[in-house]
Every structure is written in C-alpha cells, then in structure tokens.
Homo-oligomer: A and B are copies of this chain.
Amino acid sequence: QMPRGNLETIHHRALVLAQLRKWLDNLRFRDAFECMRKLRINLNFIYDHNPKVFLENIKTFITQLNSTNHINLFLTELKEEDTTGSMYPRPEGIPVQTPHVSGQKKVDVVCDSLRSTMESMGPNKFFLSILTAHVKKTVPELEIALQKVHELRVSPPDAPGAVGAEEALKYLLFLVNVNDLYEHSLGTYDFDLVLMVAEKSQKDPKEYLPFLNMLKSLEPNYQRYTIDKHLKRYRKALTHLSKCGNERFPEALQLVKEQKLYTEALRLYTADRAHYKALSCAYAEHLVEQQQAEQAGLLLWRCGEPASALQAFAGSSSWRNAICVAQQIPLPPDQLALLARDLAGKLIEQRRHAEAALLLDQYAKDCEEAILALITGAVWEEALRLIYMHDRQDITETNLKPALLEAVSTHTAFLEAQLVMFTRHRNRLAVVREQKAKARLDLLGENGPDCPDAELYSEASSVMTGSKYSQSNSRISSRSSKNRRKAERKKLSLKEGSPLEDRALMYALGELITTVDKMREEVHGLLKALVLFQFDKQAQKLQLVYEEGLQMMEAAVPEVWPEPLQNSQAPLTGPDATANSIMASFQQQQQRPAASQQDAEVPTPPKMRNGVKWKLNVLT
C-alpha cells in the first residue's frame, strides 16, 4: 500500500469533483450538496459548474434541498469568484462556460433567481430564505426585507408552519448588524417598522424615542428630508427638501453647496425661475473654481445673468460667447472695443492670432492691429485679405514683406540646425550600437550564453525586439503609463556613455522628425507668400532644405528603428547544443521584451505625414 500523503488527497479531490460533476450534470443536486457539505467543498461550485443548467433548474434544486437551512447555507456561501477558475479547475477540453449573465453580478443573479422561484413555490414556507436572498445581494436590500417582516407582523399568515414576525426579525438581526438594520428601518420612513427594530435592538429608548417623536412632528416632506440627511442620503434629502416650499430654499441651497449637488438641484428647481437662477449662480461659482469658467458662463447666460456670464467667458478665452453676451447686454461701443482688445491680447498669448485679428478687426475696429497680429502669427493669406479689404497695401511694404523675409531666414536656419543635430545623433547612435553589440559579443564569447553580465548588454537588442504590444498594453491604464513614460524619459540621458544613451538618441531623433514633419503646412503657406512677392530665391532655398531634410529623415527611419536583428534572435545551436541549451537561449529571448518593457518604453518610430503636400512645383 502507498504511504498516505498530499498526493493522495489531491487525487481524492479530483475523483470527488468528477463525481460531483456527474451528479450536477444529472441534476442530482441533493447528492452533490450533501457530499460537498461533508467534504467542505465550496458550495459555489454547484452554480459555477454549469451556470446555465443551474439557472434553468432552480425549482428542482429547491425541491431536492427542501430545507430553508440548506438553502440559506448555499446563499450565505455565495461569492463572486468562479470556483472553476483556480479552486476546482475544469478538466481540459471542456469549454469554459460564460459564467454569468452579461452586466449582472453572479451573486445577484443567483439570489434573484432563487428568491423569485421560492416566492412562487411558497412565500411562507421559504420566508427566511427569501429574506436571506434579499440580504445577501451585493447591495443588500434591507428595506425590502424589513418591509416583508413588517407585513408579516401586520397580517400574520395562518398557513401551518409559517414563520412569525418575531422569529423573522430575530433571524434578520442574526444576519445583519443591528445599527445597520435600525438605520435602514429609518430609511423606510415607517415608524412602526423603526420601533419594531428599535425594540429588538436593545437600544436605549431614551435615546431613540425623542428623535423619533421630533421626526413625527415634522411636515412629511421635511421629515423625510431630515431622515435622509441623518442617513447621509443627500440626493434623496434634496429631493424631499425641494418639495417643502420657498421658505426652505435657503436650507436647500446650503445643502447643494455643501454636497455639490448642483446638477440634481437644477433638475429639481427648473420650474422656479428665481431659485433656478440662485442655484445657477452658485454652481457657476463652483465651476469657476474648478477651472470650468466657460460652462459657468453658459449657466449664467441662460439663467439671465449676462454680466457675470461675460466675466466667466472672458476669463476662459471663450471669446465668441463673451462678445455675444456683450452685445446682448448691450455694452456701449467703446467698452465693446476695449473688451475685444482685451480678449485679442489673451488670444495672441495663446498664439491664436487669426481669432485675435477677427476681434481687433470687427469689434475693436482696428484693422491695422488686426493685420499686424496676423503677420506676427504668420497667417499670411488672411493678412493679405485684410490688407486688400481695408485697402492698406502700404502695410505690405512696411510689414508683410519684411516679415516674410525674416520668416524664411528663420525657418531655413532652424531647419538646418535640426538637420545637423539629426545627423549628429544618428551617427552617434551607430557608434553606440556598434560598441554595445561588440561588448555583448565579447562577453558571450568569454562566458557562454548563461553569463549573467550578458544581460547588461542586452538593452541594445531589447530596443529592437520590443513588440508593438508594448504600446497596446500601456493603453489599459494610459494615464499611469504616460506618467511612467515621462519618468522613464527623464532617466534617459544624451550624455556620451550614459547607460541608455542609445534609447535617448532614438527618442531625440524621433522628436526631431516630429518637429520637422509638423512644419509642412507652415512651410507651404510661407512658400506661397514668398512666390507671390517674387522672393523666389529665398523660397527655393527653403524648399530645398526642407525637402532634403524630410528625405534624409525618412531614409533614416529603417536604420534608427530597425527590424529585430536576425542574428540576435536566432537560438544558439551547433554541434554542442542540447535540447536544454536551445530552450534556455530561447526562453532568454522570450523574456527580454517583457523585461525591456519594465525598464523603459520601447521608442516607436514617428509617423511622417507624407500625405500633406507642401512643395511648390514653381520652385523646382
């Protein structure tokens, strides 16, 4: 005979589970239940084994168990976890059942199904189990349970063996904390029920009776408000308070501000203009604090507070709304002009020159300032439009042309600097990669593939073997991974010899490409303006520099972000290789991408927008 031990227990359980599965498949719930009780197998398995079959045969389950106690035992042991996951895994080959109805939680599904079946089979017979089903839901339905006990007391059933109210309440107190039950009884606004629970709770009547009497003396809506507030159910409290008439409004406003119930309040007080306005103003104040001045402005404007609305809009650079409100007030022309200038100034700070120019032109009636704003913002065509509209061709000579010439030389110089930097980083990257590859080869040669130091040099290759899933993965918690990436990038240093210099160079190269690629529209507009004013030579030079730059960058992409190096991926084989050594080297490679993901995000190649056409034929 074999010695008894762990191994046998495991085998034993496997056999038991096989038997249980058979019983459950044959709907022999009673046999399964008793066996599981005896062997302390988690009762959730009855459901988890095949949720669909269980839910379709609840009546059979209840009939076979035929005992309030047993059903209660099953209900109280319900857990969200699927026991066929880790605890009692399914034998291989049997497809995993989608365990519960979409959206709903398993515990709720089972409780509700059992309860409704028991209610149809005998509400008195299964009374305690029905209570259990209410209480065991993920959000316990204590009010309903209490209500049912109350009904039992008011009209006791004369069925034989029916449970009495007294016994039912005792059972509820056994399932639920006394204070919870008392609070929830208050929440039913039914003082009979409250007293019933309070009496059972061994609370001091000197404590709860004055409070209950005070409540009883209140107007019904205000009474309910007071109870809701006591139970911290502020939304309900506000709903009841809103029905208490005008004199209670200050109290309501206070509650709204304290509990930030602004949107609920606006919904409740829609009909009353004065209260609605007061609430809107309070909400607007809160929104301004939350940096949501534009939304505050909308609320203030629509409730008839244009002056405050104007302030809110102006504060959030919501200039169109600000101007509309100003014209509705209406602001006198000089003040409107001042407002427009003020808004334009803010927009220029945000580099929104076209919008600033519109304000200056149409509301401040200052076309010269408008044109200058457009020239500053390099919005060449629109500047020219205003120049012709206001017949101010003089500005073309005094400002537009000089600005164009300055822009072309700035852009050309900027591009040249970016390209020099790009070439420098690119060359350096080649050197760093070569050094790393060489250092790694040397180590491998000396110590063989198992050398732990080799990992030190695997970074260079890890950069190249990262899968695209490093990206898709990070999307799950994009905010935190964004922060992590930021933190990682800080660690990267372009200093020669820094440990992750190659990755830092890849980031820097990617950013250079993005910067230069972003300039397509800008360069296109500038080139057209230059051609119009016959600055062909300068335009040609810019076009040439930009085109060469883009081509050079595009050509560098496969070198900077190469395909995984084939040599470093191939497993180490040869006459001396064994199955184990091959596996080891293979696993090493498998793990590398994962490791590198933790180290730092793999830099991905930037996308170039070759679809954006910017080149002028006339300059070729």
Q: Which residues of A contact B (CB under 8 A)?
A: 95, 262-263, 266-267, 283, 287, 290, 292, 294-295, 298-299, 301-302, 320-321, 323-324, 327-328, 362, 381-382, 384-385, 387-389, 391, 434, 466-469, 471-473, 475-476, 478-479, 528, 531-534, 536, 554, 557-558, 561-564, 569, 571, 573, 577-579, 582-583, 586, 590, 602, 604-605, 608, 610, 616-620
Contacts and interface: CB of A to CB of B under 8 A. Distances in A.
Contact of A582 (B384, B388, B582, B610): B582
Contacts of A569: 590
How many copies of this chain does the complex contain?
2
A299 B618 contact: yes
Contacts of A562: 469, 472
Nearest to A362: B389
Contacts of A586: 571, 582, 586
Nearest to A438: B95
Contacts of A266: 536, 618
Given A467-B467, A558-B472, A388 B604 contact: no
Contact of A583 (B389, B468, B582): B582
Contact of A620 (B263, B387, B478, B604): B263
Given A475-B554, A532-B298, A579-B579, A564 B469 contact: yes
A157 to B, nearest CB: 44
Contact of A301 (B298, B478, B532): B532
A561 B362 contact: no
Contacts of A391: 327
A466 B267 CA distance: 52
Instruction: Indicate the member of A328, A388, A476 with the most B CB atoms within 10 Å.
Output: A388
Contacts of A608: 475
Contacts of A619: 263
A388 B472 contact: no
A324 B476 contact: no
Given A388-B328, A586-B586, A619-B263, A473 B533 contact: no
A582 B299 CA distance: 69
A573 B320 CA distance: 69
Given A468-B471, A469-B564, A582-B582, A287 B618 contact: yes
B531 A295 contact: yes
Nearest to A387: B324
A474 to B, nearest CB: 10
A528 B605 CA distance: 38
Contact of A564 (B95, B467, B476, B573): B467
A573 B579 CA distance: 9
Contacts of A267: 536
A204 to B, nearest CB: 43
Contact of A571 (B287, B387, B583): B583
Given A475-B605, A579-B577, A298 B618 contact: yes
A605 B473 CA distance: 10
A292 B467 CA distance: 43
A434 to B, nearest CB: 8
Contact of A557 (B290, B472, B554, B590): B472
A362 to B, nearest CB: 7
Given A388-B328, A558-B473, A618-B287, A573 B583 contact: yes
Given A466-B468, A616-B295, A618-B295, A323 B388 contact: yes
Contact of A298 (B263, B466, B472, B531): B531
A355 to B, nearest CB: 11
Given A287-B617, A295-B618, A473-B563, A468 B557 contact: no
Contacts of A321: 381, 384
Nearest to A93: B441
Contacts of A557: 472, 475-476
Contacts of A564: 467, 469
Nearest to A570: B590
A261 to B, nearest CB: 11
Nearest to A381: B320
B327 A388 contact: yes
Contacts of A531: 295, 298-299, 302
A468 to B, nearest CB: 3
Contacts of A294: 528
B295 A617 contact: yes
A562 B471 CA distance: 11
Contacts of A298: 528, 531-532, 618
Contacts of A577: 579
A561 B469 CA distance: 8
6 contacts: A298-B528, A302-B534, A327-B388, A468-B602, A469-B562, A472-B558
B385 A472 contact: no
A470 to B, nearest CB: 8
Nearest to A531: B298
A576 to B, nearest CB: 11
A135 to B, nearest CB: 31
A472 B541 CA distance: 30
A127 B276 CA distance: 102
A324 B528 CA distance: 14
A389 B620 contact: no
A98 to B, nearest CB: 9
B563 A302 contact: no
A179 to B, nearest CB: 32
A472 B563 contact: yes
B579 A617 contact: no
A288 B488 CA distance: 52
A422 to B, nearest CB: 14
Contact of A617 (B292, B302, B473): B292
